[in-house]
Amino acid sequence: MIRALLWDVDGTLAETERDGHLVAFNRAFATAGVPWRWSAAHYGRLLEIAGGYERLLYDMQHRDEAPAAAAGRESLARQLHQLKNGFYEDIVRSGELPLRAGVPGLLAECAAARLPMAIATTTTPGNVAALLERHLGGDWRGRFAAVVTAAEAPRKKPEPQVYRLALGLLGLAPHEAVAIEDAPAGVEACRRAGVPVIVAHSHYFPTLAVGAVVRAAGPSLGSGAGWRPSAETPAARIGLEQLRRWSGG
């Protein structure tokens, strides 16, 4: 029996990586006067590093133009990350980052069914608040029984801390929840926490294998087409009933 739905944020609720964070990182580079920019393809590779600050630090290790000393790189990464988050919030508030297809419908269905939901992300809390406030309104927090971000779970995905904390706040065992994810790091975090997961592929992660922890994977929650295992009604968006079938609850 599913007793809660756990939502990843980046790539799952919205295409935030390609259309939000990447654009904001490049604006931060220009504003800070650093000479490099990230292409969409390079950013895709950098997504192996969880966390925007950590991603900046990793990238600087391979740049001759970056400060030579570790302390200098850390200070620049902090400055760039703060700038990036400001630009990201501007992008979100401008309405340029819609929720992905099927997300509003599933959020509404869970609310109507009084199924508790949680946010389980290791992104910066301000990024999450900006996105959800833009789309769900000022009282967005009230829609979730728990909100866990990098502030509460500093050990980022693929570490399972974020899922364990969310389960603890909900008072549930791992098998009583289902997570919605898009990325390998998120799936790995679920695997280590023991939480079954449904994968809605995103721009940067167009394929992920169905296996023990991944109960189903498909292109979008907005359509029943293209899912493995197949959805019961391929024409319809993915709803709670379908999630229950896949997760055996």
**Smaller CB separation from ligand XBP, 149 or 231:** 149
In angstroms, rounded to a whole number, what is the distance separating the alpha carbons of residues 174 and 149?
A: 18
**The 117-120 sheet, strands edge to edge:** 146-148, 117-120, 4-7, 177-181, 197-200, 214-218
Cβ atoms of 53 and 78 closer than 8 Å: yes
Contact at 8 Å (CB) between 106 and 240?
Answer: yes
Residues 6+ apart with CB under 8 A from 14: 20, 97, 98, 99, 100, 103, 131
Please, what's the largest Cα pairwise distance for the chain? 57
- Residue placing its CB nearer to ligand XBP in the complex, 4 or 14: 14
Are 177 and 2 spatial neighbours (Cβ–Cβ below 8 Å)?
yes
Residue 10 appears among annotated catalytic residues: yes
Contact (Cβ atoms closer than 8 angstroms) between residue 120 and residue 179: yes
Q: Select 131 or 172, whichever has its Cβ closest to ligand XBP.
A: 131
Write down the least CB distance from residue 157 to ligand XBP, Å: 5
Has 8 been annotated as catalytic? yes
Of the candidates 10, 19, 59, 139, the residue annotated as catalytic is: 10
* Least distance CB 233 / ligand XBP (angstroms): 29
Binding site for ligand XBP (CB under 6 A): 8-10, 17, 21, 50-52, 121-124, 127, 157, 183, 186
Return the number of the residue (127 or 242) whose C-beta is nearest ligand XBP. 127
Q: Which residue is nearest to ligand XBP (CB)?
A: 52
Min dist. Cβ of residue 185 to ligand XBP (A): 7
For the bound state, the minimum distance from the C-beta of residue 246 to ligand XBP, rounded and expressed in Å, comes to 21
Burial of 140 (0-12, 13-18, 19+ CB in 10 A): middle
* Positions marked catalytic: 8, 10
